[in-house]
Amino acid sequence: MLVSLHIENVATIKSVDIDFDLGFTVLSGETGAGKSIIIDSVNLLLGDKSNRELIRSGEQSASVRALFTALSDKKTEKIKALGIDCDGELEVYREIGINGRNIIKCNGRTVPTYTLREMMGGLITIHGQNSSQTLLEEQTHLQYLDNYAGDGALLSDYKALFDELNGTINEQRALIMDEREKQRLTDDLTRQIKEIESAKLKDNEEDELLASRTRIKNLEQTAKYVKSVYRNLYHSDKSPSASERIDAAINALTALNETEQSDKITENINKLTSFKYEIDDIAEETRAVIADIGDDPAEALDGIESRLSTITHLKRSYGSDIAEIKAYCESLKIKLDNIRKADNRIAELTEMIKKEKAEAIAKASALTDKRKKAALELSAKVSAELKYLDLKKVRFNISVEKKKQLTATGADDVVFLVATNTGDELKPLDKIASGGELSRIMLAIKSVFAGKDDIDTVIYDEVDAGISGATSERIGDRLHQSSNGCQVIAVTHSAQVASCADTHVLIYKTDVGDRTQTFCKILDREERIKELSRIIGGIDITQSVIDAATEMLDKKPKGN
């Protein structure tokens, strides 16, 4: 709900704070005191076009700030989905500048106007001659009816079926193609698969080729080191190698052992033999470093460059590395296999669509039945409310018409229809005349919808315009009654309406220095009696007027 509203530099308001509570709140005051400024300020928060004429004379900017608390989980999730951090509380700020600047912040985050409109649409609605009203928008009527019917679970089941059906239809559409297109795609996929597979790519092959290319380019220096190791360890034409010297030492020890017969000599012969094998292995392993290069390093380098060129070409077309290319090839095979199996799959999907569509139609029909039943009940209740509010000639009906195709919300078009005069044709709600009559029609509908339309705060702007007596009293009663399910705020000139409120806020203006300023004040009981007396009696407030105001206040509805 709305708990506080701060307005700064809007028209005659220099700075005003209004605190709101649950239940029914009225705003009253003399004509021109600034009640319409409050409505204009709230409309700024609802995303209305900024109007520089609202900025207080002499100031550079105007701003409005509102705080909402106790937001439902559903509303909190919606706000989060719009990219705004929210834990059940929301602070909305809007500033308009004389230079055209428009700043909007929600919980400290700057947002565009369209985000503000989408977010605030579920928090506040204003019913008045110059205010946007969601009830007038046909696209909201189905949602209102569903909220009243309480068919959320049924609608959720239907939506799941509808989404499943759409998914199956989309899969089938993706598979259906003419034979020429099918052959073209088959040939294309086959060509790509053949090109990749003919390359016979190996994992890590590119890294190995690059390393070999580097070795060959450094071949002269590498070969020098390899030959030096081989000559010194295994064989050399100029001088004995390490292996040859160890061989000579082993032969000498063997001869010595024949005369001395020593275990120590035998042990040393074995050690030297082991050393010789290790040295021979090192020599062969070192020579193997350049063995794969072959006798012609230039030819080997050409082969490596050709292979790298093939890999580079495949990378340009199919992936950033060999692993991606091979994975892409597998995906091509799956696509080709799906095309070849498409006819069978299309037949399977056709049967699935028939079954899923039948289930969705059945669920949609159940929704239609529940909506039509709720529409009859709701129409009767709203009609009764209209009579209670002295709109006896006004007729109200809810049209539930079958659509030709299933949609995400079922198969129904729902429109609220109204006729304001005897003999008039029922027309959509947004086609009837505006003004106090429309506001009372809105009140009748909202009274029935109390707590079921998912709007936290409802503001009525002079719903009692042109009304007096018993009708005003009934309007006040219904405003109070509708606050059972939401927070209701009304701007009023009627004492009967004001007396029904749980909280009474006086809007007044006075001169401060050489400027007129608008202020507001929450009235206590005695102040309420005084304000009601002013509304009833005008300038001449007699004791009988005060007594009437006191009696009116004492008769106000008790509790919510």
3-class secondary structure, 133: coil
From residue 63, give the alpha-carbon distance in Å to each of 40, 122, 123: 12, 22, 19
Q: How confident is the model at residue 132 (pLDDT cuts 50, 70, 90)?
A: very low
The answer, yes or no, to whether residue 151 has pLDDT greater than 50, is yes
Q: How many of the other CB atoms lie within 10 Å of CB of 115?
A: 18
3-state DSSP of 30-89: CCCCCHHHHHHHHHHHCCCCCCHHHECCCCCEEEEEEEECCCCHHHHHHHHHCCCCCCCC
The answer, yes or no, to whether residue 285 has pLDDT greater than 90, is no
User: In this prediction, what percent of the chain has a pLDDT beyond 90?
Assistant: 53
Segment 432-461, tens digit of pLDDT: 755 556 777 878 887 787 666 667 898 988
Distance CA 222, CA 224 (A): 5
Segment 78-123, tens digit of pLDDT: 999 999 999 999 999 999 999 989 999 999 999 999 999 999 988 9
The answer, yes or no, to whether residue 399 has pLDDT greater than 70, is yes
Q: How confident is the model at residue 244 (pLDDT cuts 50, 70, 90)?
A: confident
Q: How confident is the model at residue 294 (pLDDT cuts 50, 70, 90)?
A: low
Decide if 505 contacts 523 (C-beta within 8 A). Answer: yes
Helix (H) or strand (E) holding 155: helix 152-175
The answer, yes or no, to whether residue 472 has pLDDT greater than 70, is yes
The answer, yes or no, to whether residue 291 has pLDDT greater than 80, is no
* pLDDT number for residue 155: 94
Distance CA 272, CA 218 (A): 36
Distance CA 90, CA 106 (A): 7
Range among 283-287, 390-394, 516-520, 551-555 with highest mean pLDDT value: 516-520
Distance CA 101, CA 95 (A): 8
The residue with greater pLDDT, 95 or 431, is 95
* pLDDT number for residue 293: 59
* pLDDT number for residue 397: 94
Segment 159-197, tens digit of pLDDT: 999 999 999 999 888 778 776 788 888 999 999 999 999
Q: What strands, in cross-sheet order, belong to the sheet with 503-512? A: 124-127, 457-461, 487-491, 24-28, 503-512, 515-522
* pLDDT number for residue 560: 47
Weakest-pLDDT range from 80-84, 146-150, 427-431, 525-529: 427-431
Phi-psi region of 200 (alpha: psi -120 to 50; beta: other; left: phi over 0): left
The answer, yes or no, to whether residue 38 has pLDDT greater than 90, is yes
3-class secondary structure, 90: strand
Q: How confident is the model at residue 134 (pLDDT cuts 50, 70, 90)?
A: low
Query: Once rounded to an integer, what is the mean pLDDT over residues 311-340?
Result: 92
3-state DSSP of 264-291: HHHHHHHHHHHHHHHHHHHHHHHHHHHH
Query: Once rounded to an integer, what is the mean pLDDT over residues 29-54?
Result: 92
Range among 68-72, 255-259, 387-391 with highest mean pLDDT value: 68-72
* pLDDT number for residue 558: 59
Decide if 25 contacts 68 (C-beta within 8 A). Answer: no
Query: Once rounded to an integer, what is the mean pLDDT over residues 354-365?
Result: 96
Segment 522-541, tens digit of pLDDT: 999 999 999 999 999 877 78
Distance CA 25, CA 167 (A): 49
> In terms of DSSP H, where are the helices of 408-524?
436-449, 469-482, 495-499
Q: How confident is the model at residue 221 (pLDDT cuts 50, 70, 90)?
A: low
Distance CA 62, CA 52 (A): 9
Averaged pLDDT of the chain = 88
Query: Once rounded to an integer, what is the mean pLDDT over residues 237-255?
Result: 86
Q: How many of the other CB atoms lie within 10 Å of CB of 495?
A: 25
Distance CA 126, CA 170 (A): 42
* pLDDT number for residue 510: 95
